[in-house]
Amino acid sequence: MARQAVIQVRDLVARYGEDIIFDRVSFDVYEGEIFVVLGGSGCGKSTLLKHLVGLISPDSGQVIIGGDDISRCDDATFQNVLKKIGVLYQGAALFGSMTLSENVALPIIEYTDLPQRSVATLVRMKLGLVDLDGYENHLPSEISGGMKKRAGLARAMALNPKILFFDEPSAGLDPVTSAELDNLIVHLNRSFGTTIVIVTHELQSIFAVAHRVIMLDKHARGIIAEGDPEYLRDHSQNPFVRQFFNRQTKKNRDGTEEK
Amino acid sequence: MKRFTGDLQSCNYEVSESGQGGITLHVQGKMDASNAATMIETFSDLVKDRQPRSLTVDLQKVSYLDDFGALVLVETRKMMSNGKNHFCLQNVNDEASKVLSILHFESLEKGDPFRKKRPPAMLIRLGEATIHHASDLKFLLSFLGSVCLSLLHVCLHPKSLRRDDTFLCMQKTGVDALPIVGLISFLLGLIMAFMSSVQLRQFGADIYVASLVSLSMTRELGPIMTAIIVAGRSGSAFAAEIGTMKISEEIDALFTMGFDPTRFLVIPKIIASIIVVPLLTLFSDVFAIIGGLVVGILTLDLTANAYITQTIKTLTLFDVFLGVFKSGVFALLIAWIGCLRGFQVKGGASSVGQATTSAVVSSIFLIILFNSVFSVILRYWE
């Protein structure tokens, strides 16, 4: 079965001023997979995510989502692409002045014609899906970090996007909550067939959820490994990749051990 | 048999009668976000028209169902059970039943997540408001106390003052405000001279335009106008800066690092304001007098010399000092209330906005209030 690529990245170059963050990066994300972008701090993971969702336009190269090149398409097309994606930000980015149900209802009310009563039911379902039933009328400031993440997820999923992006989903969460979030991600992927792109460096999450990973590196300014995380851990040619997956301390870049 | 088409590509349905007033809906195609709204509407019309005793929804030919599709089913079920009628699903395939089960389709009861909490009784609200204001007052007093203590500490140990912050704040509050203060004062002097000249001319008292402009500016309008501009420019900035630091836990960081947030953040702002606002007021006086002078020369045939001599004759050193002293007090009020509102921020971004608004409104109110107090005191003192 030929898998269809929903995101195609071609020769993407990103720079801040003089600094080239990554140079000519290309990869595909296929429909229905959980795709993880990983790498050490400062390798441009978050920058890559911002390019994928169109927050930054690339210096050169293309980001194609569902056939539309989001860096070059017109505004109307871009708006359509935005309806196909949902983003869960690191700090959940819930609107502080609105209750959880208002946060989730906002895109539903704006982009569908559902009657008010049905919106209410749908919001209950969405919040139920992330185990937040009973918290409809809470403000974001009244709930914990893990709950905020889940509420942010409910909002990101409000319109059932084809692709969900996660920026560091486990950041700031305890291991139990973080594992629950991982389960939720797998669950969503299986039940709705949502394509999921995660940016993280949390090893346990990677092994728990990822179908395929790419690893970025600061020095190589690009992808240094691609494939199944468990395979990379055990069989990668690149010692730095094995080191990352096995959580070892720094070795010299030529692969010889420092100890 | 009836077919549902509409403008939605992906779904249609057929209705068949199953005896004893029951009907079956055979849905075919996708049930998702694109057609949920239309489906709910159509099915509700159908239920209203036919008033069926029981309704069966046949999902055999449904190729895709997500939570919007489930919503259609929930809403339809709700319409049926309003009349205590029977509703059931049939031929639910594996994927659809998986979706329905994670959404707890069977147990989704009615309820409205948007219901607002009922406002409590009047007496309770009165009590809550009283407690709220009392705790506000308590905070205000404790903040005043902490500012006084920190000021005292800085007076005793001048080295503990954060000098760079103070200079930066003097630049932002004072130097950067000079153009706008100068322009507004110049125009104000111009207007006052112009308006009064029309009246005074009738009595041949042209020269008193100089007295009117200089005296009213140095004693009253100069300090007030400058203070209002500074409140709008800097008081709001103090509140927004401290408020944002508060919600991003920077204040907490200062506290746990062993710094007193008041001494660290508030004292430089207060000292800087007390130094620069009186200076701005002096500039404001001068610019207003220049404004008056321009009108005097251009429309009243006064010489520059006569105008300036009259101005010097009118003004006493006391008037100038009074204006400067008042603006010093206003500066203290603006910086204090701006920082206070910043520290009162709780929650999120909208709270910062409220604090900023409140900082400007409260400082303008306090400026006018204290100015009135000064006027009353002077009335009996002089």
Domain boundaries, chain A: 5-227
Are B69 and B188 in the same domain?
Answer: no
- Of the three residues B64, B81, B102, the one that is the final residue of a domain is B102
Start-to-end Cα distance in chain B:
99
Q: Considering all CA atoms of chain B, what is the largest pairwise distance in Å, rounded to the nearest integer?
A: 109
Residues of A in contact with B40 (CB under 8 A): 114-115, 118
Q: Which of A31, A101, A124 to mutate to test the interface with B (most CBs of B within 10 A)?
A: A124
pLDDT tens digits for range A32-81: 899 999 887 778 888 888 888 888 888 888 899 988 888 888 888 888 88
Contact yes or no for A114 and B37 at CB 8 A: yes
Go through chain A and tell me how many residues it has. Answer: 259
Chain A residue at shortest CA distance from B40:
A114
Specify the pairing of strand A60-65 against strand A5-16: antiparallel
Decide if B131 is inside a domain: no
pLDDT tens digits for range A15-45: 887 788 888 889 999 998 999 998 877 788 8
Decide if B128 is inside a domain: no
**Size of the A and B interface in Cβ pairs below 8 Å:** 87
Contact yes or no for B102 and A191 at CB 8 A: yes
Are B95 and B177 in the same domain?
Answer: no
Are B301 and B200 in the same domain?
Answer: yes
Are B223 and B291 in the same domain?
Answer: yes
Amino acid at B84: K
Residue carrying the six token digits 């006493």: B316
pLDDT per residue as tens, chain B (382 positions): 455 544 555 677 788 877 777 888 888 888 888 788 888 888 888 888 877 888 888 888 888 888 888 888 888 888 777 666 778 888 888 878 888 887 777 776 655 555 556 778 889 999 999 998 999 899 989 999 999 999 999 999 888 888 889 999 999 999 999 999 999 999 999 999 999 988 888 888 888 999 999 999 999 999 999 999 999 999 999 999 999 999 888 888 888 888 888 888 999 999 999 999 999 999 999 999 999 999 989 988 888 999 999 999 999 999 999 999 999 999 999 999 999 999 999 878 888 999 999 999 999 999 999 999 999 998 888 7
Residues of B in contact with A131 (CB under 8 A): none
Decide if B107 is inside a domain: no
Cα–Cα dist A69/A47, whole Å: 18
Are B188 and B63 in the same domain?
Answer: no
Return the CATH number at B89.
Answer: 3.30.750.24
Residue B188 has which token pair?
A: 């104000």
Residue B268 has which token pair?
A: 């430089």
Residues of A in contact with B39 (CB under 8 A): none
Torsion of CA A27, A33, A39, A43, to 10 degrees: 50
Are B163 and B91 in the same domain?
Answer: no
Determine contact, residues A195/A29, Cβ cutoff 8 Å.
yes
pLDDT tens digits for range A153-185: 999 988 888 899 998 888 878 888 888 888 888
Least Cα distance to A181 among A198, A193, A163, A195 occurs for: A198
Q: Give the CATH architecture of domain A5-227.
A: 3-Layer(aba) Sandwich (3.40)
Cα–Cα dist B150/B161, whole Å: 10
Q: How many angstroms away from the CA of B239 is the closest CA of chain A?
A: 19
Cα–Cα dist A134/A51, whole Å: 36
**A134 CB within 8 Å of a chain B CB:** no
- Of the three residues B75, B102, B129, the one that is the final residue of a domain is B102
Torsion of CA A87, A91, A95, A99, to 10 degrees: 100
Which bin fits A227, alpha (ψ -120 to 50), beta or left (φ > 0)? Answer: left
Compute the mean pLDDT over every residue in chain A, rounded to the nearest whole number.
Answer: 85
Cα–Cα dist B143/B137, whole Å: 10
- Structural domain of residue B60, as residue ranges? 11-102
Determine contact, residues B296/B193, Cβ cutoff 8 Å.
yes
Chain A residue at shortest CA distance from B109:
A121
Contact yes or no for B33 and A160 at CB 8 A: yes
Burial of B43 (0-12, 13-18, 19+ CB in 10 A): buried
Are B89 and B226 in the same domain?
Answer: no
Are B174 and B74 in the same domain?
Answer: no
Cα–Cα dist B96/B89, whole Å: 11
Q: Considering all CA atoms of chain A, what is the largest pairwise distance in Å, rounded to the nearest integer?
A: 66
User: Which of 78-107 (A) contact B at CB < 8 A?
Assistant: 96-97, 101-102, 105
Residues of B in contact with A123 (CB under 8 A): 113
Q: Coil, strand or helix: which one is B16?
A: strand
Determine contact, residues B24/B15, Cβ cutoff 8 Å.
yes
Cα–Cα dist B208/B279, whole Å: 26
Which bin fits A166, alpha (ψ -120 to 50), beta or left (φ > 0)? Answer: beta
- Residue A1: pLDDT band with limits 50, 70, 90: very low
Determine contact, residues A207/A175, Cβ cutoff 8 Å.
no
Which bin fits A54, alpha (ψ -120 to 50), beta or left (φ > 0)? Answer: left
* Strand-pair partners of B30: B64
**Mean per-residue pLDDT, A110-124:** 86
- Residue A258: pLDDT band with limits 50, 70, 90: very low
Q: Report the percent of chain A where pLDDT is more than 70.
A: 95
- For the sheet with A212-217, list strands across it: A85-88, A163-167, A195-199, A34-39, A212-217, A222-227
Which chain B residues have any C-beta within 8 angstroms of a chain A C-beta?
A: 32-33, 36-38, 40-41, 66-68, 70-71, 74-75, 78, 98-99, 102-104, 108, 110-117, 346-351
Chain B residue at shortest CA distance from A187:
B102
**A120 CB within 8 Å of a chain B CB:** yes
Are B192 and B283 in the same domain?
Answer: yes
Cα–Cα dist A114/B325, whole Å: 64
Are B59 and B198 in the same domain?
Answer: no
Give the total number of structural domains in chain B: 2
Among A117, A122, A141, the residue with its CB nearest the CB of B348 is A141
Cα–Cα dist A203/A243, whole Å: 12
- Of the three residues B58, B83, B102, the one that is the final residue of a domain is B102
